[in-house]
């Protein structure tokens, strides 16, 4: 009887059922060569275990420990998807009207909108505090006529004018990536440097809607990283974008992000939707 190498390997790894084990054990008794092959698989496993055991004793960097232990600071509660909040608010208004007519009780939608509303207020409050030192009267984000949050001041200027490929390390707004969203709007992700730049920054995504940059999402608590030394180091920039923002972009993006030439061309057209 011949036994395949994969079966012997599975035996050495403890993956066979009782019948399989019995068959291999019998073959090992009959044929010393089989026993030798099994021993070789076990020895390799051992050797790997020993060689890689040492790494487990290395101290874990503080930033990783903090990522878990301070996670209350990075919880979903300081991420606001503003588009969802607006949709919830519209649903709630509709439900309110319906509710008044039918005398029905308040809906869950309304509750969840209230919660979202207070979270959004918290983020804005954070912005207000964090950006107090911005030029007075020039908060980076304000509430537009329709109630939506829109970029203002230096943020609006950077969104319209700054190319991701050419930006100074010290600028107050860092543009991360520009892309065409499935909605047909051009969107850009940004990070606002906080005055003093030692603590958490705020990142977000804004999409050009007519004349305004509508804020799609904001995340606080982005770890501030050293600006890339050269314009070419995208890896540093990539890790500075919070994963939730990357996920949002992955969900929205149509095709590839704009490269330097694409950004420049779309900027000339005022970031207007191609449709």
Partner 1 sequence: MNTSAASQNIHEQIVALLPRLRRFARNLTRDPSDADDMVQIALERALLRLEQWHRDARLDSWMFKIVRNAWIDEVRSRARRDKIFLAEEAGVDVGVDTTRKQQTLLSVQSALLRLPEDQRVAVSLVLIEGLPYKEAAEVLDVPIGTLTSRLARGREALQALLGPEDEHA
Q: The tokens of 268 are what?
A: 């000339």
Q: Which stretch binds partner 1 (CB under 8 A): 87-95, 122-130, 183-191, 237-245?
A: 237-245
Q: For residue 211, count other CB atoms closer than 10 A to its CB.
A: 11
Q: Which is nearer to partner 1, 60 or 145 (CB)?
A: 60
User: Exactly one of 19, 58, 145, 147 binds partner 1 (CB under 8 A); which one?
Assistant: 58
Q: State the minimum distance, in angstroms, from the CB of residue 86 to partner 1.
A: 22
Q: Which stretch binds partner 1 (CB under 8 A): 57-65, 140-148, 183-191, 262-270?
A: 57-65
Q: Which stretch binds partner 1 (CB under 8 A): 69-77, 108-116, 126-134, 199-207?
A: 69-77
Q: State the minimum distance, in angstroms, from the CB of residue 42 to partner 1.
A: 11
User: Exactly one of 2, 62, 71, 100 binds partner 1 (CB under 8 A); which one?
Assistant: 71
Q: Is 16 in the site for partner 1 (CB under 8 A)?
A: no
Q: The tokens of 198 are what?
A: 């030692």
Q: Which residues contact 158 (CB under 8 A, 6 or more apart)?
A: 171, 172, 173, 175, 190
User: Exactly one of 23, 25, 45, 119 binds partner 1 (CB under 8 A); which one?
Assistant: 45
Q: Is 246 in the site for partner 1 (CB under 8 A)?
A: yes
Return d(Cα 81, Cα 48) in angstroms, integer. 46
Q: Which stretch binds partner 1 (CB under 8 A): 22-30, 44-52, 81-89, 128-136?
A: 44-52
Site for partner 1 in 137-156 (CB under 8 A): none
Q: Is 36 in the site for partner 1 (CB under 8 A)?
A: no
Q: State the minimum distance, in angstroms, from the CB of residue 95 to partner 1.
A: 26
Q: State the minimum distance, in angstroms, from the CB of residue 12 to partner 1.
A: 9
What are the angstrom distances between the C-alpha of 36 and each of 15, 30, 54?
A: 18, 12, 28
User: Exactly one of 239, 254, 264, 272 binds partner 1 (CB under 8 A); which one?
Assistant: 239
Return residues touching partner 1 (CB under 8 A).
Answer: 5-6, 9-10, 13, 15, 40-41, 43-45, 47-52, 54-58, 60-61, 63-65, 67-69, 71, 74-76, 177, 234-235, 238-239, 242-244, 246, 250, 256-257
């Amino acid at each position: 009887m011949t036994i395949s190498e994969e079966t012997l390997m599975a035996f050495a790894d403890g993956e066979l059922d009782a019948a399989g084990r019995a068959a291999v054990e019998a073959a090992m008794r009959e044929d010393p060569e089989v026993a030798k092959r099994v021993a070789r698989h076990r020895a390799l496993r051992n050797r790997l275990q020993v060689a890689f055991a040492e790494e487990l004793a290395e101290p874990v960097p503080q930033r990783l420990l903090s990522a878990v232990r301070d996670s209350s600071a990075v919880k979903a509660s300081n991420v606001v998807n503003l588009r969802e909040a607006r949709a919830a608010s519209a649903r709630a208004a509709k439900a309110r009207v319906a509710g008044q007519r039918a005398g029905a009780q308040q809906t869950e939608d309304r509750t969840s909108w209230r919660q979202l509303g207070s979270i959004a207020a918290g983020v804005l409050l954070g912005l207000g505090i964090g950006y107090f030192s911005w030029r007075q009267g020039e908060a980076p984000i304000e509430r537009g006529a329709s109630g939506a949050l829109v970029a203002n001041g230096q943020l609006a200027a950077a969104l319209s004018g700054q190319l991701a490929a050419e930006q100074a390390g010290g600028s107050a707004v860092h543009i991360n990536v520009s892309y065409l969203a499935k909605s047909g709007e051009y969107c850009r992700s940004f990070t606002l440097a906080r005055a003093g730049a030692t603590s958490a920054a705020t990142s977000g995504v804004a999409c050009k809607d007519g004349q305004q940059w509508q804020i799609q999402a904001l995340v606080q608590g982005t770890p501030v990283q050293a600006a890339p030394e050269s314009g070419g180091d995208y890896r540093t920039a990539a890790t500075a974008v919070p994963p939730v923002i990357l996920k949002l972009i992955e969900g929205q993006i149509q095709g590839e992000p704009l490269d330097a030439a694409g950004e420049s061309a779309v900027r000339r057209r005022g970031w207007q939707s191609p449709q």
